[in-house]
C-alpha cells in the first residue's frame, strides 16, 4: 500500500496504490480524481484536450460540483470548488487502505460568491483491489442553515457509449434537461444510450450497474438522493472545446447527486454523501440482476 505526492500536467497530485496494483490519481487542485486503474485498465475518462489549473475545470474524471449543480442557481455552472486552487491535503494514510483527505475552507473569495461559512472535506480511498470510494462532507461553520446542490460528476471510460447498458433505473421518474426539465418515467429494463442524454433521476436507488462488453462497474451511492446521467451525443459534441473529435463516444457520466431538492445543513452540523465503484464481471453482474440479487 502506498500514498505518494507527485505531479502531473503541471499540478501537484496524490497517487494512491493498492497492494493489488490498482491505483488512483487525485489532483490537489479542485480535489479532482483523474484516474482509477482497476484490473489493469483505466476506468475513468479524461479528455485528451483537458485543461489543467488556471481556474479551469478538468474535463473528465470526477469533478466535485458544489454548492450548485449545473446552472440551477446564480453561481458559475457547477459551483466554484471544481476550479478552486485553495484545496489542501488534510491527511493521508496507507492502512488499512490507501486514502487521501483534502479540505477546503471558506475565505474572502468564496464569500463574495457564497456568503455562508463552510468547511469541505473530501476523501478518496482505494478500499479493495477492485473498488474505490469517495465521500464529501460539508460542515456548516456558520450560525444559519446552509443549503446547496451537489454532485460527484463521474466520467466513466467506455469503449462506445452506444454499446453500454445501465441497469437499476427502471420505473424511476427523471427530469429531462434536453426537454426543459420535463418529468418522464424510465421504462423497465436496461437503459441504452442512443443520442444526447441529460437526466436527473429522482430518489434513485443506491445501486446501479454500468455494463460495457465483458466488464461492468457496480455503483453504490450514499447520502445523495438523486443520480445524474449525461452524454453530450454526437450532434452537440462540437460545442465542447475541451473534448476532442469522437471522444463523446468514450465516456458515460453517471453520478451521485443532490440536485432536484437542495440539501440543508443546520448551523454547526454536517452532511456527508459518497459513492463507491467496484469492477465486476459483466456476466456475473447480469446473472445476479436477473435473479434480483
Q: Has 18 been annotated as catalytic?
A: no
Q: Model pTM?
A: 0.95
Please state which CATH class domain 2-290 belongs to: mainly beta
Alpha carbon distances (Å) from 274 to 121, 174, 258: 12, 21, 11
CA separation for the pair 252, 95 (Å, rounded): 32
CA separation for the pair 212, 110 (Å, rounded): 40
| pLDDT attached to residue 87 | 98
| pLDDT attached to residue 73 | 87
CA separation for the pair 259, 248 (Å, rounded): 24
Residues 120, 135 contacting (CB under 8 angstroms):
no
| pLDDT attached to residue 120 | 98
Selected catalytic residue, list 32, 78, 153, 209: 153
| pLDDT attached to residue 74 | 87
CA separation for the pair 86, 80 (Å, rounded): 11
Alpha carbon distances (Å) from 137 to 59, 64, 107, 180, 196: 23, 12, 18, 31, 32
In angstroms, the first-to-last Cα distance of the chain is 32
Q: Which residue has the cell 443546520?
A: 266
Task: List the beta bridge partners of residue 79.
Answer: 66
Q: Has 255 been annotated as catalytic?
A: yes
Domain boundaries, the chain: 2-290
Running DSSP on this structure, what letter comes out for residue 46? B
- Tens digit of pLDDT per residue, the chain (293 long)? 899 999 999 999 999 999 999 999 999 999 999 999 999 999 999 999 999 999 999 999 999 999 999 988 889 999 999 999 999 999 999 999 999 999 999 999 999 999 999 999 999 999 999 999 999 999 999 999 999 999 999 999 999 999 999 999 999 999 999 999 999 999 999 999 999 999 999 999 999 999 999 899 999 999 999 999 999 999 999 999 999 999 999 999 999 999 999 999 999 999 999 999 999 987 676 666 665 65
Q: Which residue has the cell 440479487?
A: 293
Q: How many degrees, rounded to 5, is the angle at CA 120 between CA 114 and CA 123? A: 150
| pLDDT attached to residue 107 | 97
Amino acid at each position: 500500500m502506498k500514498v505518494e505526492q507527485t505531479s502531473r500536467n503541471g499540478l501537484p497530485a496524490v497517487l494512491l496504490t493498492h497492494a493489488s496494483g490498482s491505483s488512483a490519481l487525485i489532483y490537489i487542485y479542485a480535489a479532482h480524481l483523474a484516474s482509477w486503474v482497476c484490473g489493469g485498465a483505466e476506468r475513468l475518462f479524461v479528455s485528451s484536450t483537458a485543461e489543467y489549473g488556471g481556474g479551469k475545470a478538468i474535463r473528465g474524471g470526477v469533478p466535485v460540483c458544489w454548492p450548485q449543480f449545473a446552472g440551477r442557481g446564480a453561481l458559475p455552472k457547477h459551483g466554484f470548488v471544481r476550479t478552486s486552487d485553495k484545496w489542501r491535503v488534510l491527511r493521508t494514510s496507507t492502512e488499512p487502505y490507501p486514502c487521501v483527505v483534502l479540505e477546503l475552507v471558506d475565505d474572502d473569495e468564496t464569500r463574495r460568491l457564497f456568503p455562508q461559512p463552510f468547511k469541505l472535506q473530501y476523501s478518496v480511498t482505494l478500499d479493495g483491489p477492485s473498488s474505490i470510494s469517495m465521500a464529501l462532507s460539508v460542515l456548516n461553520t456558520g450560525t444559519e442553515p446552509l443549503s446547496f446542490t451537489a454532485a460527484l460528476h463521474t466520467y466513466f471510460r467506455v469503449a462506445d457509449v452506444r454499446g453500454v447498458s445501465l441497469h437499476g433505473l427502471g420505473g424511476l421518474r427523471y427530469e429531462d434537461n434536453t426537454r426543459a426539465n420535463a418529468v418522464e418515467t424510465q421504462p423497465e429494463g436496461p437503459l441504452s444510450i442512443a443520442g444526447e442524454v441529460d437526466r436527473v433521476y429522482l430518489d434513485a436507488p443506491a445501486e446501479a450497474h454500468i455494463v460495457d462488453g465483458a466488464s461492468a462497474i457496480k455503483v453504490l451511492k450514499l447520502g445523495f438522493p438523486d443520480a445524474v446521467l449525461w452524454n453530450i451525443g454526437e450532434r452537440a459534441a462540437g460545442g465542447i472545446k475541451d473534448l476532442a473529435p469522437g471522444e463523446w463516444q468514450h465516456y458515460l457520466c453517471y453520478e451521485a447527486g443532490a440536485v432536484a431538492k437542495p440539501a440543508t445543513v443546520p448551523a454547526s452540523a454536517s452532511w456527508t454523501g459518497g459513492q463507491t465503484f467496484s469492477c465486476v464481471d459483466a456476466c456475473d453482474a447480469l446473472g445476479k440482476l436477473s435473479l434480483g440479487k
